[in-house]
């Protein structure tokens, strides 16, 4: 039987998002910034985060083609939807819901770096350590969570639960 355990409450998430927004605002003050959300999972966090950033930003989205779990680890990245904005010479902030094995973020970063942006940084709502396979550190981390199958705030299980305002760990899978 599926059961869910509360991991992050909406009010904790709201507070942390405000802090991240302030940090990002300070770092990019007076500079351009293109925020790139990675679909689908990032859309909820991204919507919250950009409203906490007090800068004149541009927003775009990218989606990695899905081939089931673990697809990103081997071979070149396959893009389902590319960004539409030109990022050459711009500051780019990649926004993800979760950093898990790390393969997705490494490959997206390299993919976008080929377009010669001025800088690339990353912001993840959750840094989950349990399954990390590559050495990557996000520049901005909302929360570190050691383990668990997480749902809510954009994170899904078979496309369900993305809309939950809080984050839960799902058990009994
Ligand atoms: C999730 C998440 C990240 C990726 C992280 O996406 O949104 O993009 O996995 O995993 P990794 O660090 O192990 O590479 P998923 O492929 O589940 O697609 P979704 O965002 O559409 O849910």
CATH number, residue 27 = 3.40.50.2020
* Nearest residue by C-alpha to atom 6 in ligand 1: 41
The per-residue pLDDT for range 131-172, each reduced to its tens digit, is 999 999 999 999 999 999 999 999 999 999 999 999 999 999
Percent pLDDT > 90 in the chain is: 88
Within 10 Å of residue 83's Cβ, how many Cβ atoms? Answer: 20
Q: Which residues have C-beta within 8 Å of that of residue 92, sequence separation ≥ 6?
A: 33, 34, 36, 112, 117, 119, 120, 121
Per-residue pLDDT for 88 more than 90?
A: yes
Q: 152 CA distance to ligand 1 centroid (A)?
A: 13
Give the Å distance between the CA of 156 and the centre of ligand 1: 9
Q: What is the mean pLDDT of the chain?
A: 94
Report how many domains make up the chain: 1
Asked whether the predicted pLDDT for residue 100 surpasses 70, the reply is: yes
160 is a domain residue: no
Whether this prediction's pTM lies above 0.85 is answered by yes
What six digits make up the tokens of 68? 């089931």
Using pLDDT thresholds of 50, 70 and 90, give the confidence band for residue 69. low
Q: Report if residue 138 sits inside a domain.
A: yes
- Specify the pLDDT at position 44: 98
pLDDT at 108: 96
Percent of the chain with pLDDT over 70: 95
pLDDT band at 65 (very low <50, low <70, confident <90, very high): confident
156 lines ligand 1 (CB under 6 A): yes
Q: State residue 66's pLDDT score.
A: 67
Active site residues: 100
pLDDT tens digits, 160-169: 999 999 999 9
pLDDT at 75: 74
Cis amide prior to 40 (ω within 30 degrees) = yes
Q: Is 155 among the domain residues?
A: no
pLDDT tier at 67 (50, 70, 90 boundaries)?
low
**Is 54 among the domain residues?**
yes
Residues whose CB falls within 8 Å of the CB of residue 101, separated by 6 or more in sequence, listed in order = 70, 72, 73, 131, 132, 133, 134
Q: Is the pLDDT of residue 130 over 70?
A: yes
Please list, in sequence order, all residues whose beta carbon lies within 8 angstroms of the beta carbon of residue 160, skipping any fewer than 6 positions away.
151
**Which residue puts its alpha carbon closest to atom 8 of ligand 1?**
104
**Which residue segment(s) compose the domain that 127 sits in?**
10-148
Dump the DSSP string for 35-76.
Answer: EEEEETTTHHHHHHHHTT--S--EEEEEEEPP-STTTTTSSS
Q: Is the CB of 125 under 6 A from ligand 1?
A: no
Whether 63 is in a domain gets the answer yes
Any domain includes 29:
yes
The widest CA-to-CA distance across the chain, in whole angstroms, is 52
């Amino acid at each position: 039987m599926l059961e869910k355990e509360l991991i992050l409450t909406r009010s904790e998430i709201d507070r942390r998002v405000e802090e991240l927004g302030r940090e990002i605002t300070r770092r990019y003050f007076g500079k351009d910034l293109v925020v790139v959300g990675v679909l689908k999972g990032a859309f909820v966090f991204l919507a919250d985060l950009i409203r906490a950033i007090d800068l004149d930003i541009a927003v775009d989205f990218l989606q990695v083609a899905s081939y089931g779990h673990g697809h990103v680890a081997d071979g070149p990245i396959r893009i389902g939807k590319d960004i539409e904005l030109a990022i050459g010479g711009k500051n780019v902030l990649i926004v993800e819901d979760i950093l898990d094995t790390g393969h997705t973020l490494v490959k997206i970063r390299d993919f976008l770096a080929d377009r010669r942006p001025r800088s690339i940084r990353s912001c993840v709502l959750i840094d989950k350590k349990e399954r990390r396979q590559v050495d990557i550190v996000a520049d901005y981390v909302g929360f570190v969570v050691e383990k668990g199958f997480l749902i809510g705030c954009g994170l899904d299980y078979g496309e369900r639960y993305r809309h939950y305002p809080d984050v839960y760990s799902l058990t009994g899978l």
